[in-house]
């Protein structure tokens, strides 16, 4: 009795591959996927289909995130440049200002010595220079009043700036917190894809104190 041999599984004929073997090799080398994977997936190979699907998923993520990530890298580089340039400017200015302060201190010491000498000279010339002394005294009184007015103004400006700096602290903290939250969200998306749990990322809110701060300032009379 003759046994019937099972027929081979029929396959679609590939008329293109023999004419593009170099390109097929390039496809495998450059992109990590081959026409053999394509054929296996067409034939129902789950592993091949999963490989192609994963590379496609990564490709979609790259199309969406790569430009944003590239921009983030550019901002990091530009920020680093600006930060280091600002540091250099600060240090250079510190040197210049230190010299200016030392010079001003020397001038004050000389001015103070001159003041002492002038007082001694005025004491000796009092009898003969009463009119001159009266003129000097009037000038000194006016100078003191002007200086007191300017000092009061400067103190008021410094106080306003100090209060403004304190009122801005929550917003400055909020900017940093928002940036950290965005970074954690992006990391969660990149690491877990569709399994990302954004609800587990805590979000800080420093702005909640703003209303209470205004009430507190009002109670203090500001």
Report how far apart the first and last C-alpha atoms of the chain are (Å, whole number).
Answer: 110
**pLDDT given at position 51:** 86
Cα distance between residue 65 and residue 94, in whole Å? 42
Res. 218: pLDDT tops 70: no
Where does residue 141 fall: left (phi above 0), alpha (psi -120 to 50 degrees), or beta otherwise? alpha
pLDDT band at 94 (very low <50, low <70, confident <90, very high): very high
How far lies 116's CA from each of 42, 107, 109, in Å?
A: 103, 14, 11
What pLDDT digit, counting tens, does each position of 28-73 carry?
A: 898 888 888 888 888 888 888 898 888 889 888 888 888 999 999 9
What confidence score (pLDDT) does residue 171 get? 87
- Structure confidence by residue, pLDDT tens digits, 149-204: 998 999 889 888 888 888 888 889 889 999 999 999 889 888 988 888 889 989 88
Using pLDDT thresholds of 50, 70 and 90, give the confidence band for residue 213: low
Burial class (CB in 10 A: 0-12, 13-18, 19+), 124: exposed
The pLDDT value given to residue 3: 61
Burial 78-107 (b: 16+ CB within 10 A, else e): eeeeeeeeeeeeeeeeeeeeeeeeeeeeee
Q: pLDDT category, 100, cuts 50, 70, 90? A: very high
pLDDT at 193: 81
Of 72, 63, 65, 61, nearest in space to 193 by CA: 61
Distance of CA 20 to the CA centre of its chain: 51
Q: What is the pLDDT of residues 77-90, one digit of tens each?
A: 999 999 999 999 99
Distance, C-alpha 60 to centroid of its chain: 29
Quickly state the pLDDT bin for 109 (edges 50, 70, 90): very high
In a 13 Å sphere around the CA of 13, the CA atoms on its Cβ side amount to 1
Q: Could you give the CA distance from residue 173 to residue 210 in angstroms, rounded to a whole number?
A: 13
pLDDT at 222 over 80: no
State residue 212's pLDDT score.
67
Task: State yes or no: pLDDT of 7 exceeds 60.
Answer: no
When comparing pLDDT for 17 and 114, which is higher?
114
126's CB contacts (< 8 A; 6+ apart) are 133
């Amino acid at each position: 009795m003759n046994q019937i041999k099972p027929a081979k599984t029929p396959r679609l004929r590939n008329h293109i591959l023999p004419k593009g073997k170099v390109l097929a090799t390039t496809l495998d080398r450059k992109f990590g996927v081959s026409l053999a994977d394509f054929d296996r997936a067409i034939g129902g190979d789950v592993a091949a289909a999963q490989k192609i699907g994963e590379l496609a998923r990564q490709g979609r993520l790259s199309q969406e995130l790569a430009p944003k990530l590239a921009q983030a890298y550019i901002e990091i580089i530009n920020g680093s440049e600006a930060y280091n340039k600002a540091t250099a400017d600060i240090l250079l200015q510190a040197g210049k200002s230190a010299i200016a302060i030392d010079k001003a201190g020397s001038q004050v010491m000389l001015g103070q010595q001159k003041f002492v000498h002038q007082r001694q000279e005025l004491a000796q010339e009092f009898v003969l220079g009463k009119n001159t002394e009266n003129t000097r005294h009037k000038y000194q009184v006016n100078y003191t009043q002007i200086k007191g007015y300017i000092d009061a103004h400067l103190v008021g400006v410094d106080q306003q700036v100090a209060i403004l700096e304190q009122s801005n602290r929550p917003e400055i903290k909020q900017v940093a917190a928002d940036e950290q939250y965005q970074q954690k969200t992006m990391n969660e998306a990149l690491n877990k894809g569709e399994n990302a749990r954004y609800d587990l990322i805590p979000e800080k809110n420093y702005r909640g104190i703003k209303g209470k701060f205004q009430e507190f300032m009002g109670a203090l009379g500001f």
